[in-house]
Amino acid sequence: MVRRCTRFTYVVVFLMVCAALVSVTNIGQLSVFLRTKLHDVYGSDTGLYSTRFKLRGNLSLEYCQAVPDSLVGRLNIDIDAALQSAPPLEHQDVSPGGVWSPKSCVARQWIAIIIPFRDRQKHLDILVYNLVPVLKRQKVSFRYGNKTFNKGRLMNIGFTEAQKHDEFDCFIFHDVDLIPEDDRNMYTCSDNPRHMSPALDKFNYTMLYKGLVGGVLSFRGKHFTKVNGYSNLFWGWGAEDDDMHKRLFAAKLSVERPSITIGRYKMIKHDRKDVSPVRLDLLKTSIARYLKDGLNTLEYKLVETRLEKLYTRIIANVGDPPKNQTEHPL
Ligand code: UDP
Ligand code: MN
């Protein structure tokens, strides 16, 4: 029974932050350069922001800068040290469930970060420890969720549950083991879905293949709905991201990416378990299947929603894989 729970009960973590951080040293010069760079990368990311933050926030405040002066650029991430001693999760200004607002300006977007995870609490702690300061420096507002295998199903649950908590402008689907190495990689949404993690240390900071959208992927809600979310049929490791790439293609959505100097992540080392034997077969039907398999056919049981110090954890049961995986219903 315990084994079963470990295997098929998943967790979603939500962190809600509306951010603004104090300054950092050594910014002036860097931020001018960054601003230019980011405009090159993301094009015009204006006019998309909801007005409700203005309504929620202090009316006398201006919107936060699209690329704030508080960025520091390349970060020095030491994963081995973090694995040795669990990092402290201290952010007094973040309310339970992970809620935080900028004091000096009004955040432009309300973001849900959805992290699928199972049995990797330590990875989650390290990610949250590293990500919260980045989000604060970026002055984005976010909320953040987390779960695991069936990963696609968990992402869909995160998307669905997140919206019961708040209205979001932006959803970021985020592997638990990827730690951002550069805060110029903005945790926001632009006009197109954006694959934020093209350069991993594991692959020498090169993009493995052209259609890669795994790792960290941001979406406007309407775009995620347009592709019908992720497939619910990929059990175990592999290919749900490649299936998503085909969905994006079928829905005629193009994918943006930051440059590989900015879209850099360190991956926390781990074993690979439960490789899906049918993943490549499923990929053959992605385009024909995408409107019949996804958000509109999602089934799960919500087990618990818990307000943690820096995030909201949502535990959901996603059910069991079919006995014979080749006999999927579509
Ligand atoms: N994951 C998890 N527990 C697992 C398997 C996967 O939390 O047992 C989540 C976690 O967010 C992880 C993501 O699914 O980052 C992708 O799985 P994994 O890291 O094993 O695959 P990789 O992308 O490294 O090949
Ligand atoms: Mn991984």
Q: Which residue's CA is the closest to the ligand 1 atom numbered 8?
A: 118
Ligand 2 centroid, distance to 49 Cα (angstroms): 32
How remote is the CA of residue 147 from the centroid of ligand 1, in Å? 10
Q: Is the CB of 151 under 6 A from ligand 1?
A: yes
| Confidence at residue 140, expressed as pLDDT on a 0 to 100 scale | 65
Residues labelled catalytic:
175, 177, 237, 240-241, 267, 270, 272
Q: Which of 12, 13, 117 to mutate to test the pocket of ligand 1 (most atoms within 8 A of CB)?
A: 117
- Helix ranges, the chain (H): 2-8, 28-42, 52-56, 79-84, 121-138, 151-165, 221-226, 240-250, 279-284, 286-289
pLDDT for 27 beyond 60:
no
pLDDT tens digits, residue range 114-167?
888 787 888 888 888 898 888 888 876 655 655 547 889 889 988 998 888 878
Ligand 1: centre distance to CA 32 (Å): 36
Q: How far is the CA of 115 from the centre of ligand 2 (A)?
A: 12
How many angstroms separate the CA atoms of 51 and 63, rounded?
A: 10
Rounded CA-CA distance 276/285 in Å is: 16
What's the chain's length in residues? 330
Q: Which of 29-38, 114-123, 227-236, 320-329 has the highest mean pLDDT?
A: 227-236
Question: Percentage of the chain with pLDDT > 70?
Answer: 74
Which of 226-230, 285-289, 325-329 shows the lowest per-residue confidence on average (mean pLDDT)? 325-329
Residue-wise pLDDT for 258-275, tens only, equals 999 999 999 999 887 778
The closest residue, in CA terms, to atom 7 on ligand 1 is 117
pLDDT of residue 149: 72
Query: Which tokens go with 121?
Result: 């609490």
Q: Which CATH superfamily is domain 9-317 in?
A: Spore Coat Polysaccharide Biosynthesis Protein SpsA; Chain A (3.90.550.10)
Q: Is 148 in the pocket of ligand 1 (CB under 6 A)?
A: yes
Q: What is the average pLDDT across 274-282? A: 87
Q: For ligand 1, is residue 177 a contact (CB within 6 Å)?
A: yes
What is the rounded CA–CA span in Å between residue 120 and residue 167? Answer: 28
What per-residue confidence (pLDDT) applies to 326?
57
Atom nearest to 117 CA in ligand 1:
7
For ligand 1, atom 13, name the residue with the nearest CA: 175
Q: What phi and psi values does residue 57 have, to the nearest 5 degrees?
A: -90, -170
b or e along 159-192 (b: 16 or more beta carbons within 10 Å of the residue's beta carbon)? Answer: bbbbeebeebbbbbbbbbbbbbbbbbbbbbbbbb
Q: Which residues pair with 305 in a beta bridge?
A: 314
- Ligand 1 in reach of 68 Cβ (< 6 A): no
Maximum average pLDDT range among 95-99, 173-177, 258-262? 258-262
Do the Cβ atoms of 308 and 98 come closer than 8 Å?
A: yes
Q: How far is the CA of 106 from the centre of ligand 1 (A)?
A: 34
120 Cβ closer than 6 Å to some ligand 1 atom: yes
Determine if ligand 1 sits within 6 Å of the CB of residue 149.
yes
pTM: 0.81
209-252 pLDDT per residue, tens? 999 999 999 999 999 999 999 999 998 888 999 999 999 999 99
Listed in sequence order, the residues at least 6 apart from 263 whose beta carbon sits closer than 8 Å to its beta carbon are 182, 185, 195, 196, 197, 198, 199, 257
Ligand 1 center to residue 153 CA distance, Å? 13
Classified as helix, coil or strand, 210 is coil
State the closest ligand 1 atom to the C-alpha of 176, by its place in the atom list counted from 1.
Answer: 11
Cβ of 117 less than 6 Å from ligand 1: yes
**Is the shortest distance between the CB of 119 and ligand 1 below 6 Å?**
yes
